[in-house]
Amino acid sequence: MSAQMLRVTEIEALSPLVKRFRFEHPGGKKLPLFSGGAHVVVEMPDGDLLRRNAYSLISDPQDGSGYEIAVRREDGGRGGSRFMHANVSQGDTLRISTPLNLFALDARARKHVLIAGGIGITPIIAQMRQLLRMQDRFEIHYAARSRSEAAGLRLLPRLPHIHSHISDEGDRMDLGAILDRQPIGTHVYTCGPEGLITAVAQCAARLGWPRGSLHSEVFLAPPPGRTFEVTLAKSGRTVTVGPHQSLLEALEEAEVDIDWSCRGGACGRCETDVVSCHGRIEHNDHWLSEDEHSSQTKIMPCVSRFRGRELIIDR
Amino acid sequence: MPATKFTPSIISRPIYGGLTPHGAVPALMLASGPGGEALLDLIAADPAVLPHATVIYIPEGSDLGPRLEAQGPASYVEAASYASILPRFRKLLAEALMNTRLYLAGTEGLIGQATAEALAAGMLLEAIEAEHRGSLARRMQCVHCKGITEDVTTDPFTCSHCGLSLFVRDHYSRRYAAFQGVCVDAETPGEVPPKQEIKA
C-alpha cells in the first residue's frame, strides 16, 4: 500500500463530535487527485500500537493541494477516532495512504440520488463536489438526529436539490417519496448505518427498481470478541488475536506479509484461503458471498474472527 | 413459432433469456413478426403486466396485431418498421421511470437496436427482457464503408452500400447491434466463394 507522510495544516470542529482535518505535503508538492467517494487510510502511532483507520475524503477531488477528512469521535470504539481527536495537533505529520475508491459514481447514470445518514455524509461531500464540477443532475438527502450533531450541514451548500432531514425537528427522511417516480438512468448511492442501506434496498425492491442501480458503502470497524488462535500454514506459527485486535492486526504484529486496503471488510484485498477449520468463522465482511461464508473456505482477516478448536489459514 | 434457439458456438452473440414477467410495473413492449406470440405468452403467464403496458408491434406480414390489441394494454401502436417507430420509442424511453421494464421479442436486429437505445437512455440491462423469435437473418455492418445491411441470410453477401462482397464474421457488436462483414476477395479480387445459407 503506497503512502506518504503528510502534515496536518488545519483542524476544525464541525460539531461537538466531528472534527475536520486537512493534510498537505510538507514540501508543498501536489497530491494525487482522486474521485468522489474515495477514502484514505490514516496511520496513527499510538504507543506500541499502530492504528490504521479508513476515512472518506471530503475535499474537492480535483484539488491536489491537500486532502481533507471528517472524523467522528466514537467513544465506544477501538480508539482510532479518539486518537485523532485527542492526540493529533496542527503541524503533526501522519502517514496517509494514496486514495482508493470503492464507492465511485456510476458513469452510466443520467441522474444521481445521494442518500446519507449521520457521518455517512463524508464520501457524499466529495461526490457532490465532483457532480457540481461535471454539471451532472443530482439530489442529496442527508438525515441527522439533531441540528447540533449534523456536521454535514457545515459542508453542504444551500441549494434547492440538497435536502437535510433533522429527525429531532420532526423531519424524518421518507425513502418512498425520494425513490418514487425517479426517471430511468437514476443511480442511488447510500452511505450510513447498515439499517439505512437495507431500508433503501428494500424500498427500491418494493418499487420495482433493478438492483444494479443501487450503490452503498459501509466501513466496519473490526468488531471485538474473544481471544482466538490461528495457525499459519506456510510457517507453522501460531498467532493469538486479542479481544480488541483484528486478525489482520495480529498478522501484521507477527510481521506476516499481507496486502490490505480498506481494512473494513469491503474491498477484498486481504482475502485469505482457509486450509482447515474446526469451529466456526465469525464472518463480518461485505466481500465474500453467502456460499463462501457458509463453506468456511475463506476469511477476511480485517474484520472476521474465529471460535472453535483450530483454524489454519494459507499465510 | 417457438423461441429460436441458437447454437452456443458464437461467443460474442448475446444470449436472450426469454420474457420473464415482472408484474404490475410500467412496461414497454416492442415486438416484430412472430415476436408477437412471445408477448401473448408473456401476458398469458402474468396478466398483471398488461394494465401498465405500452405495446408497439411491427407486424412484418404477421396477423397477430388484432389479438395483441384485444388483450387490452394501456396503449397499443402498430408500426411499419423499427425505423418508423424509433422517434416514438425514444420519447417513451425518455419518459420512463426507474421501475419501467422493457420486453423485446422478434428478430435479433430488433432486439439489439432497441437494447442499445434503452441502454443509452440509462436503462440497466437487468431491466430488459428479450426473446428471439423468427428469422436467423443477421444485421451486418460492413467494416469498410460502415453501412448496415439488414436481413442477411447468405454468406458471403453483397454490401448494400458499397457493393463489396462480404464474409459474414461470427463477431457481434452490441454497440452497433450487428455482426461484422469483411471483404471476402480482397487478396484475390473477383474470386468470391459460392454463397451458403446462414444456419446459425
B53 shares contact with chain A (CB less than 8 Å): no
pLDDT digits (tens, 9 = 90+) for A204-214: 999 999 999 99
Cell of A234: 506456510
Is the confidence at residue B9, as pLDDT, over 80? no
**Mean pLDDT for chain B overall:** 94
- Choosing from A217, A247, A266, the residue where a domain stops is A217
Confidence of residue A23 (pLDDT cuts 50, 70, 90): very high
Query: Do residue A91 and residue A173 come from a single domain?
Result: no
pLDDT of residue A218: 82
Chain-chain contact of B99 with A109 (C-beta, under 8 angstroms)? no
Chain-chain contact of B99 with A209 (C-beta, under 8 angstroms)? yes
pLDDT of residue B168: 95
Chain-chain contact of B98 with A186 (C-beta, under 8 angstroms)? yes
Which chain A residues have a beta carbon less than 8 Å from that of B123? Answer: 184-185
pLDDT of residue A78: 87
A186 shares contact with chain B (CB less than 8 Å): yes
CA-wise closest residue to B81 among B41, B30, B131? B30
pLDDT digits (tens, 9 = 90+) for A276-291: 999 999 999 989 999 9
Range of the domain at A238: 228-313
A108 shares contact with chain B (CB less than 8 Å): yes
Q: Is residue A222 situated within a structural domain?
A: no
pLDDT of residue B1: 63
Question: Nearest-5° angle of CA B164, CA B167, CA B170?
Answer: 140
Counting the structural domains of chain A, the total is 3
For CATH 3.40.50.80, the residue range(s) in chain B are 27-132
**Mean pLDDT for chain A overall:** 95
Chain-chain contact of A212 with B98 (C-beta, under 8 angstroms)? no
Is residue B171 within 8 Å of B179, Cβ to Cβ? yes
For B27-132, give the CATH class. alpha beta
Cell of B170: 461470427
DSSP E strands, chain A: 3-13, 18-24, 38-46, 49-56, 67-72, 93-97, 100-101, 111-117, 138-144, 162-166, 186-191, 214-217, 228-232, 238-241, 272-282, 298-299, 305-313
Q: Is residue A236 situated within a structural domain?
A: yes
Q: Is residue A106 situated within a structural domain?
A: no
Cell of B41: 405468452
| pTM, entire model | 0.89
Chain-chain contact of B98 with A109 (C-beta, under 8 angstroms)? no
Which chain B residues have a beta carbon less than 8 Å from that of A210? Answer: 98, 124, 126-127
Q: What is the mean pLDDT of residues B110-123?
A: 96
pLDDT digits (tens, 9 = 90+) for A156-171: 999 999 999 999 999 9
Share above pLDDT 70 across residues of chain A, in percent, rounded to a whole number: 100
- Choosing from A158, A187, A217, the residue where a domain stops is A217
Q: What is the mean pLDDT of residues B182-197?
A: 94
The Cα–Cα gap between A140 and A156 comes to 9
Q: Is residue A276 situated within a structural domain?
A: yes
Chain-chain contact of B97 with A108 (C-beta, under 8 angstroms)? no
CATH of the domain at A298: 3.10.20.30
Query: Do residue A15 and residue A85 come from a single domain?
Result: yes
Share above pLDDT 90 across residues of chain A, in percent, rounded to a whole number: 90
Query: Do residue A71 and residue A132 come from a single domain?
Result: no
B23 shares contact with chain A (CB less than 8 Å): yes
CATH of the domain at A38: 2.40.30.10
Chain-chain contact of A210 with B22 (C-beta, under 8 angstroms)? no
The region of weakest confidence among A177-191, A207-221, B34-48, B74-88 is: A207-221
Q: What is the mean pLDDT of residues B24-53?
A: 97
Is the confidence at residue B133, as pLDDT, over 70? yes
Chain-chain contact of A183 with B97 (C-beta, under 8 angstroms)? yes
Is the confidence at residue B143, as pLDDT, over 60? yes
CATH of the domain at A137: 3.40.50.80
Query: Do residue A119 and residue A198 come from a single domain?
Result: yes
pLDDT of residue B189: 93
Q: Nearest chain A Cα to B128, which residue?
A: A210
SS3 of residue A3 by DSSP: strand
pLDDT digits (tens, 9 = 90+) for A141-199: 999 999 999 999 999 999 999 999 999 999 999 999 999 999 999 999 999 998 999 99
pLDDT of residue B13: 87
pLDDT of residue A175: 97
Is the confidence at residue A254, as pLDDT, over 80? yes
B70 shares contact with chain A (CB less than 8 Å): no
- Which one of B99, B128, B129 makes the best mutation probe of the A interface by having the most chain A beta carbons within 10 Å? B99
Query: Do residue A178 and residue A245 come from a single domain?
Result: no
pLDDT digits (tens, 9 = 90+) for A265-277: 988 999 999 999 9
* Higher local confidence (pLDDT), B155 or B8: B155
Q: What is the mean pLDDT of residues B1-21?
A: 81
Sequence-distant (6+) residues with CB within 8 A of A280 are: A296, A306, A307, A308
Is the confidence at residue B66, as pLDDT, over 80? yes
| Interface size between A and B, measured as CB pairs under 8 A | 50
Is the confidence at residue A1, as pLDDT, over 60? no
Q: Which ipTM did the prediction report?
A: 0.87
Of B97, B101, B122, the CB nearest to A181: B97
pLDDT of residue B7: 64
Chain-chain contact of B23 with A208 (C-beta, under 8 angstroms)? yes
Is the confidence at residue A243, as pLDDT, over 70? yes
Residue whose C-alpha cell is 482466538: A228
pLDDT digits (tens, 9 = 90+) for A102-135: 999 999 999 999 999 999 999 999 999 999 999 9
B137 shares contact with chain A (CB less than 8 Å): no
SS3 of residue A137 by DSSP: coil
